[in-house]
Amino acid sequence: MTDYFKVSPDARGYVAQRYSQELPFPTRRDVQSIEEGDLLMPCFGEDGLVPCITQDADTGEVLMLGYMNREALSFTITSGYAHYWSRSRRQLWAKGERSGQSQQVEQILIDDDQDCVLVKVRLTGGASCHVGYRSCFFRELEVSNRSTSFRLRFLEDEKVYDPAQAYGTAKSE
């Protein structure tokens, strides 16, 4: 197990604390226990990941779709801040560890098959999107009479933060 850092806000800004802990999730059992039981038995796919929808705790706005492995879900539960698995970089990351745009967890829900997580969060910096917008879903496909030119309409007018300044490049968190 690798040591990771929890990034949390305090009066001086953001403070990093070292921690490591992977929870011993219960073994998946029969369909009845999984679908209607009272134990968390997440279904991590063949790639070891479970999709995670992240939603604003106050408004219900969908902020992002990410993926969690066992460590990410464990750290999300134990730290109170959202953690994800980066499929492109193949590493665990705490949301906001580089950008300051952390997600404080208010509620964790699991779907009926326990193969998708929904995390309700409060944004500490005002954004979830690595390109600087509040939500990763900042564009809408224009559809008229059930046809489209594939044109996207922007739903957000301006970015909350400058990703080049936060990351030193435009690369994703």
Q: What is the mean pLDDT of residues 3-30?
A: 67
pLDDT(49) > 80: yes
Q: In this model, does residue 9 exceed pLDDT 60?
A: no
pLDDT in tens, 128-138: 999 999 999 99
| CATH numbers and ranges of domains, the chain | 48-131 (3.10.20.810)
Confidence at 1, pLDDT banded by 50, 70, 90: very low
Give the three-class secondary structure for 65: strand
Using the Cα atoms of residue 95, residue 98, residue 100 and residue 101 in order, give the sign of their dihedral: negative
The helix/strand/coil state of 76 is helix
pLDDT, tens only, 120-130: 999 999 999 99
Give the model's confidence band at 2: pLDDT under 50 very low, under 70 low, under 90 confident, else very high. Answer: very low
Residue 125: name the closest of 94, 158, 102 by CA: 102
CA distance 173 to 158: 19
Give the DSSP letter string of 79-90.
HSB-EEEETTTT
Task: Report in angstroms the alpha-carbon separations of 8 from 75, 151, 152.
Answer: 13, 39, 35
d(CA 98, CA 154): 26
The per-residue pLDDT of the chain, averaged, comes to 89
Amino acid sitting at position 80: G
**Contacts with 31 (C-beta within 8 Å, 6 or more apart), sequence order:** none
Give mean pLDDT, residues 148-162.
Answer: 95
